[in-house]
Chain A
Amino acid sequence: MKNKTALLFLIAALYVLILGTLFGLLASLQYSLPDFLKELIPLNKMRPLHTTTVISWIILSATGSIYFYISKVEHLSLFSFKLQKVHLGIFMLTGIAIYVSLVFGKMEGREYLAFTPILTIPILLGWFLFGINYFKTIRKHVVNWPIYFWMWGTGIVFIIYHLCEAYLWLIPSFRTHFIKDTIVQWKSYGSFVGSWNMLVYGIAIYVMSKIKNDVSLARGKKVFFFYFLGLSNLMLGWAHHTYFVPTLPWIRYLSYGVSMTEWILLIHIIYSWKKSLTKKEKQDNSMAYKFLMAADFWVFINLIIALLISIPAINLFTHGTHITVAHSMGTTIGINTSILLASLFFIVSKVKGEVIMFQKLKKVYYVFNSSLLVFFSVLLFAGAKKANWMFFEKNTSFSMMQDSLYLTYIAFFVFGLVLATSITILAITLLKVLHKAYKKEATSTL
Chain B
Amino acid sequence: MQQTKSKYNIIIIVVLISIFCMYNVVIYTSKECAAPIKLTTKALEGQKIWQNNNCWSCHQIYGLGGYLGPDLTNVFSNPNKGENYIKAFLNSGVKSMPKFNFSEAEKEALVAFLQQIDSTGYYPNKEAIIKPNGWVEILYKDEK
Contacts and interface: CB of A to CB of B under 8 A. Distances in A.
Interface residues of A, number: 70
B54 A47 contact: yes
B120 A319 contact: no
B66 interface: yes
Do most interface residues of chain A lie in helix, strand or loop, or is the interface mixed?
helix
Given A175-B44, A232-B16, A182 B67 contact: no
B81 to A, nearest CB: 11
Given A48-B54, A145-B6, A178-B117, A235 B23 contact: yes
A354 interface: no
A315 B66 CA distance: 17
Interface in B23-63: 23, 27-28, 30, 32-39, 44, 47-48, 51-58, 60-63
Contacts of B122: 246
B136 interface: yes
Contacts of B52: 107-108
Contact of B57 (A44, A108, A178, A253): A44
A241 B44 CA distance: 23
Contacts of A399: 95
B96 A242 contact: no
A312 interface: yes
Interface in A171-211: 174-180, 182-184, 186-187
Interface residues of B, number: 66
A288 interface: no
Contact of B95 (A34, A114, A256): A34
Interface stretch (A35-43, A274-282, A332-340): A35-43
A235 B23 CA distance: 9
Contacts of A182: 61-62, 64
A184 B64 contact: no
A183 B27 contact: yes
Please indicate which of the listed interface residues B16, B32, B117 has the most CB atoms of chain A within 10 Å of its own CB: B32
B65 interface: yes
Given A182-B64, A316-B136, A391-B126, 6 more contacts: A34-B95, A111-B66, A154-B13, A183-B27, A246-B32, A321-B67
Interface of A: 30-31, 34-35, 38-39, 42-45, 47-48, 107-111, 114, 143-145, 150, 154, 168, 174-180, 182-184, 186-187, 224, 228, 231-232, 235-236, 241-249, 251, 253, 256, 311-316, 319-322, 325, 386, 390-391, 398-399
Interface of B: 2-3, 5-6, 9, 12-13, 16, 19-20, 23, 27-28, 30, 32-39, 44, 47-48, 51-58, 60-71, 95-96, 98, 116-117, 120-126, 128, 130-131, 134-136, 138, 140-141
